[in-house]
Structure 1
Amino acid sequence: MDSLSIPKKTGNTIVYADKKDINADIQEIREKGESIRSGNTFKVSSGRVYEIHGNSVHPVSGPKTINITSIEYKILALTKKEGGLPNAYRSLDIQYSKGIINKEQYDRTKMLIDMIRDKK
């Protein structure tokens, strides 16, 4: 995962598939007849569903997608800032210790932070 660019109006869904797989999904959407269209949503052969908003395509559901809360999104956004990884881990621990996020959310967010860390 190289970046977090999820518009709030479509929800907070992150896709963590390999970039080449995501690019293949997008190519299927571009080529008429390659994906299954329903209004502004497209289901591709990988099983992922994307939605188009203006000129942007955003993940909705499917394999290697995760729906996260706004708190989780804010924690993940910290990874993009200077010295972000330590702050993201610290914020994650604080939110969990205060009961703001549950164990499932903690584990899911930690997995995503670890993936971002490993890509750097």
Structure 2
Amino acid sequence: MKKRFGVSIPDFLACELDTLSKECGLDRSRLVSQAVLKYIEDLKHYRSKHDCLGACLIVSDKGLDIDSDIYKDIIVSYNHIHVSGLCVNVFILKGDSERILEFYTKLSKNSIKSMLVPLH
């Protein structure tokens, strides 16, 4: 059974979706379903409470809007570089998965691109 609903996305993303749909030979609904499923599965990992090891990538056009000292209990390593006018931040995180998700959620709100990858 399928559920139909409307979603608004930026024009550039709609164009990318159409292009990728043609290249992969999938209709847009199937492609969006696969992307949403992958996103949900990735976040579910962090929502089930456990001791976790992960990498967090945050790309922004300005500095981070967070006091990272608050999260020093989960930050194992941090690297910050400037590339092509962007701030690239890489964190290695270890600790409570819910705390890691909280940290990632706060950082990703004002980012251009963000990614959270389990390392185990």
Say whether the fold is shared (TM-score over 0.5).
no
The higher-RCO structure (CA 8 Å, 6+ apart) is 2
Tell me which protein shows more helix as a share of its residues. Answer: 1
More strand by share: 2
Larger Rg: 2
TM-score in terms of structure 2 length: 0.26
